[in-house]
Amino acid sequence: MFWFQLGLVIDLTNTSRYYQTTDLKKEGIKHVKIQCRGRDAVPDNMSVNTFVYEVSQFLLRQKSKKYILVHCTHGHNRTGYMIVHYLMRSQSMSVSQAIKFFSEARPPGIYKPDYIDALYTFYHERRPEMVICPPTPEWKRSSDLDLNGEAVPDDDDDDGSPIALPENHETDVVLTNDDILGDEIPQDQLQSLRLFCYHTLKLNAGVRGNAQFPGSHPVSLNRDNLQLLRQRYYYATWKADGTRYMMLITVDGCYLIDRSFNFRRVQMRFPCRHPAEGIGDGTHHFTLLDGEMVIDTLPDSQKQERRYLIYDMMALNHTPIIERPFYERWKMLEKEVIEPRNYERHNIYQSRNPYYRYDLEPFRVRRKDFWLLSTVNKVLKEFIPKLSHEADGLIFQGWDDPYVPRTHEGLLKWKYARLNSVDFLFEIGSDDREQLFLFERGRKKLMEGNKVEFRDAPDPPSSFSGKIIECSWDPDEHVWVYMRIRTDKSTPNDINTFRKVMRSIRDNITEEILLNEINEIIQLPMYADRIRIDSKARMHANAARRR
């Protein structure tokens, strides 16, 4: 191949002994080194994400047709593994089709069984019986022994030592909200995806850049903002005590977005809705969702399951929809995201990839329910006690509200009094003094006079230094009480959030007070009329589903 035809060389070897890169640079050819072990170890997921991003960006940016050269030592296993990953994330095909595509272009293709198995496992596909791993090439087998019949190092090691592959044992792993989900992505890709979120939510990067989590945050209910329920039309839902994530769905993968505004890739499928209500040909691309990850404990078996409760949608296939009223976004969420996914899941053998297994995905997905205010008593007394995951109160959502990034003064949260909490940064100073910090205008603010007790903590206070801790208020002792470490957060609450929580604690809107207020509110004409209309509409919708 002539130099002028090459635009990018991706080197997957675990060594730098094969060639110098200076000649490539002189010819204007970009060289990317992604160091991958060879023997008995497939490339790690971060390396795969880097490879796919580099290839995608090169193809997107090139002005004239240039080629990409990918190589490991022999150009079969690591090279094939990476190229199959790229095909899976850029084309509409199954793992079997992608493996066949590569093997026809580079015979015999991937010949290591563990590489083949890893691809099927990663993409949650059942391996067809007809897929047979090709035998090790003759030239490879003949080099395994030296002239004395002794084993020689495998060139595909590239100076690496053998690594034992993990055995696939079923284990009873305890799931927690602190578990890190998904795989890291390249820094350039992270910045690009952050920028998309800011543009979608119509935010300016500002002086602090675009590193601040932009998701909508509720404010604590107090006696003043409680009156908003009388002025605007609200629906209610339970406040799940899980982990907050936004989710960005693209053709090349789904990305969980945590409270630190970091993105991690998870392997999930979200097919688009077909105009004829059947299974569509494509998948969502730049659809942005908001939700909460919870851990359900099934009542019969006590088995744990992760579930992502989606409660809002901010963009649909690149198109921002944040200015639409909430009830429209909520309905679109069901029609555009949940229904196509459920339809394909139940009709998988008619889909373009009948070998895909939804049950192997890292978590389940559902739309979160919202109810009329007239049902709040039932939600508190009957629904929440029967939930299979933790809940700590209620959320009141304006039915006609747009999506408001960051603090949304009209999005209200009510928590059980004992669970009203603040997230502090806890530190132990040089004089061994325990200190609690909040943020004010992006800087640490020492909260003089505030103390915390670690009553049920298994470790000494010193082990919490430098960490974000969630604390509840003990009104009798006038101290904060440690609840848990917030591993999903890298900064404490803002001072304004603290003031609103303290106002909510002082106002002490109990369950009884809340229910009495709501009973009065739903008698107002604006509520009574809409509740009657909405109730009829829901009855018709439920009847249609049953048919």
Residue positions annotated with a catalytic role = 72, 239
Query: Is residue 197 within 8 Å of 247, Cβ to Cβ?
Result: no
- The DSSP element (H or E) to which 519 belongs, if any, is helix 511-521
Q: Is 415 flagged in the annotation as binding? A: yes
SS3 115: helix
Query: Is residue 275 within 8 Å of 430, Cβ to Cβ?
Result: no
How far is Cα 115 from Cα 80, in angstroms, rounded to an integer? 9
How far is Cα 363 from Cα 268, in angstroms, rounded to an integer? 9
Query: Is residue 446 within 8 Å of 439, Cβ to Cβ?
Result: no
What is the strand order of the sheet 6-11 is part of? 30-33, 6-11, 67-71
Query: Is residue 422 within 8 Å of 493, Cβ to Cβ?
Result: yes
Tokens of 57: 């960006």
On the CB side of 447, how many CA atoms lie within 13 Å of its CA? Answer: 25
Tokens of 365: 């997905």
Q: Is 28 flagged in the annotation as binding? A: no
Q: Is 484 flagged in the annotation as binding? A: yes
Query: Is residue 269 within 8 Å of 324, Cβ to Cβ?
Result: no
How far is Cα 141 from Cα 312, in angstroms, rounded to an integer? 56
Q: Is 406 flagged in the annotation as binding? A: no
Query: Is residue 293 within 8 Å of 325, Cβ to Cβ?
Result: no
Q: Is 114 flagged in the annotation as binding? A: no
Query: Is residue 423 within 8 Å of 468, Cβ to Cβ?
Result: yes
Please list, in sequence order, all residues whose beta carbon lies within 8 angstroms of the beta carbon of residue 225, skipping any fewer than 6 positions away.
219, 409, 412
Q: Is 467 flagged in the annotation as binding? A: no
Q: Is 244 flagged in the annotation as binding? A: yes
How far is Cα 18 from Cα 34, in angstroms, rounded to an integer? 14
How far is Cα 480 from Cα 116, in angstroms, rounded to an integer? 54
∠458-459-464 over CA atoms, to 5°? 125
Q: Is 451 flagged in the annotation as binding? A: no
Query: Is residue 325 within 8 Å of 399, Cβ to Cβ?
Result: yes
For residue 107, say if its preceding peptide bond is cis, omega within 30 degrees of 0: no
The secondary structure of 133-191 as a DSSP string is PPPPPHHHHTTSB-TTS-B---GGGTTPPP-PPPP-----PPP-TTPPPSB---HHHHH
Nearest CA to 246 among 186, 322, 299, 298?
Answer: 322
For 266, list phi and psi in degrees, rounded to 5.
-125, 150
Q: Is 292 flagged in the annotation as binding? A: yes
How far is Cα 444 from Cα 242, in angstroms, rounded to an integer? 26
Q: Is 259 flagged in the annotation as binding? A: yes
Q: How far is CA 471 from each of CA 227, 481, 505, rounded to the nearest angstrom? A: 28, 5, 13
Residues in the chain: 547
Amino acid at 420: N
Query: Is residue 269 within 8 Å of 344, Cβ to Cβ?
Result: yes
Query: Is residue 18 within 8 Å of 9, Cβ to Cβ?
Result: no
The total of other beta-carbon atoms located within 10 Å of residue 207's CB is: 6
Q: Is 485 flagged in the annotation as binding? A: yes
Q: Is 538 flagged in the annotation as binding? A: no
Going by the annotation, the residues of the binding site for GTP are 244, 259, 290-292, 413-415, 484-489
Binding residues: 244, 259, 290-292, 413-415, 484-489
